[in-house]
Amino acid sequence: MQCITVGYHEFMTEKEKAAAGRLYCPADPELFSACQRSKRLCARINRQIRPKSRIQLLKKLLGHLGSDAYFEPPVYFDYGYNTYIGDHFYSNHNLTVLDTGRITIGDHVFIGPNVGIYAPAHPLDIETRNAGLESAADITIGNNVWIGGSVCILPGVHIGSGAVIGAGSVVTRDIPPNVVAVGNPCVPIREIPQAQEITR
């Protein structure tokens, strides 16, 4: 699909428009090439049996990947370079990250199977949407967050540190820290008490 972009921020590249949260054309040659590179790397990652080999390829793909990370294949990223992941990360099977905007994930984040993190936002009006344009909004996930299976995280969301997102939730708005949040739309249902010191 070709996009109609004449007269709209014509002095910015499509990649710069996406980073700025403006309407951009995902079919732009630069973005298309980056997406194809990501698909090739993801295909190699998903064929790897050895976890260390997967991590080596993921470090080539992602903007940043911290220490002690583990990904169950398959994984999918739109671009990869817009995703920044901290230390001690774990994701179960079938993580899908549409990182047209920046995705920032903190330390000690655990993600269940079939989770989608979606930065793209598509126009509501038909004319703009049919012109092939979209925008993107950054997503931030704090430290020590647990995300249950089949959770969907939508553009522009911030999930606070220490939050637990229940399985099957659709996160459409910010979630404060240290709460259990569930549902569609996902809302906090209770606070999580401050952790007690672990003794043996």
Cite the active site residues.
122
Q: What is the 3-state secondary structure (H, E, C) of 138-187?
A: CEEECCCCEECCCCEECCCCEECCCCEECCCCEECCCECCCEEEECCCCE
- Per 3-state DSSP, the chain is made up of helix, strand and coil in percentages (nearest 5) of 20, 25, 55
Q: Are 137 and 122 in contact (CB under 8 A)?
A: no
* β-pair type (120-121, 135-136): antiparallel
Contacts of 17 (CB under 8 A, 6+ apart): 9, 23, 24
For residue 73, give the amino acid letter. P
Beta-bridge partners for 111: 91, 147
Torsion on CA atoms 92, 60, 139, 21, rounded to nearest 10: -150
